Amino acid sequence: MSGNEDVTHLEEELPLQPLPLDAWHRAKGARMVGFAGYHMPIQYEGIMAEHSWTREHAGLFDVSHMGQLTFSDDSEGRGVDDALEQLLPSDIKGLKPFRQRYSMLLDEEGGILDDLMVSRVGDGAFDGADIYMVVNGATKYDDIGWVIEHLPDEVVMNHMDEQALLALQGPEAGEAMAALVPGTADLLFMQSGLFEWRGVPLWISRSGYTGEDGFEISLPADDAKLLADALCELPQVKPIGLGARDSLRLEAGLPLYGHDLTPAVSTIGADLGFAIQKRRREEGGFIGHARVMKELAEGPGSRRVGLKIDGRLPAREGANIFAGDVLVGEVTSGGFAPTVGAPIAMGWVSLPHAAIDTALEIEVRGKRIAATVAPMPFVPHRYRRKA
């Protein structure tokens, strides 16, 4: 999950809060910027170097700005599942203990309010909660308000603002994590578990936002420095900033909320229909269901696509996309992809022009550059799945 950064939109109007590891980042030489209400590390050694290190070894990201929520039922029965299946289009009732799913909050018109990760909590974690959810940092307070408005009284939501969230990502993340917490070696992609390290409770999921193997680790904020130090003492691990997180997720074809995903766009057009399992499509009962069913039957008006760009000039968010003289879409994320060795982009394009290999043009700095609709991800995912 789910988490989301945009290095081109980092200005904040409200006073910025420090992350639990603020002093740790500064001591490591991080350049700090404002994002989602927090001082965030954008880079340490440099975005290109940090991007490559994560693709080759393991990078440690501080994503404590994300919203961590739990849901509990104060009565007997499956009140949490029923309530969340009204809010989310995914199959919550079928979610097994220590498993997680990607999902979304939709508005009444089927627009995307946020994307998120939802997990079934096993015995002993988070004070006996039923469900654990991670939402985006920039939208977490809006999400909390929306959820509270639609939750029945018997379901209790807790915002765990005393928890930190770290992400360890890269092909050597499994080896590094197992060196400290051996039990994590058995986790597969989208599995979770409750572990203990030096007396510290760790909720660890095998997931992330880079396309690489890796983990997200929720732990008490007061213990975050202890774990971050221990991980960065391992030869595989270096701290990685917000800048590389954005370029890594773009190469992985993962959308960024607020840019590639907004309330104006739909789940089906965003190519996120996999998050709506068969039973939910058939039964409905979730907010936004009518638009989902309409677009499944008729197709969306436009679609989120990947774009490979000729030359070396990157296309940034907001650049117009043309087919001949016809405006057919807009870039929503873009930049130079270090692993690909060329600029890439993501954007929304009208359906007749969204097929793979369609030739298009993007207007950049007053001139047109050639682009081609490309399959995503741009760099293959390397999640640890069953053989």
- Taken in order of first residue, the domains within the chain and their CATH numbers are 17-63+163-187+197-251 (3.30.1360.120), 301-374 (2.40.30.110)
> From CA 155, how far away is CA 271, in angstroms rounded?
31
pLDDT band at 74; cut points 50, 70, 90: confident
pLDDT at residue number 13: 60
- Give yes or no for residue 299 having a pLDDT over 90: yes
pLDDT band at 311; cut points 50, 70, 90: very high
Q: What percent of the chain has pLDDT over 70?
A: 95
Mean pLDDT of the chain: 95
Instruction: Establish whether 216 is an annotated binding residue.
Output: yes
pLDDT at residue number 9: 45
pLDDT at residue number 386: 85
> From CA 4, how far away is CA 138, in angstroms rounded?
8
pLDDT at residue number 123: 77
pLDDT at residue number 76: 62
Which tens digit of pLDDT belongs to each residue from 23-48?
Answer: 999 999 999 999 999 999 999 999 99
Name the CA radius of gyration of the chain, rounded: 20
Q: Which residue has the tokens 């940092």?
A: 137
Pairing of strands 131-135, 112-120: antiparallel
- Give yes or no for residue 7 having a pLDDT over 90: no
Compute the average pLDDT of residues 106-133. 94
Hey, what are 343's tokens? 């600029």
Question: What does pTM read for this prediction?
Answer: 0.94
Pairing of strands 17-18, 58-62: unpaired
Compute the average pLDDT of residues 354-373. 97
CA–chain centroid gap for 73, Å, is 27
- Give yes or no for residue 78 having a pLDDT over 70: no
CB contact at 8 A, 47 and 244: yes
- Give yes or no for residue 6 having a pLDDT over 50: no
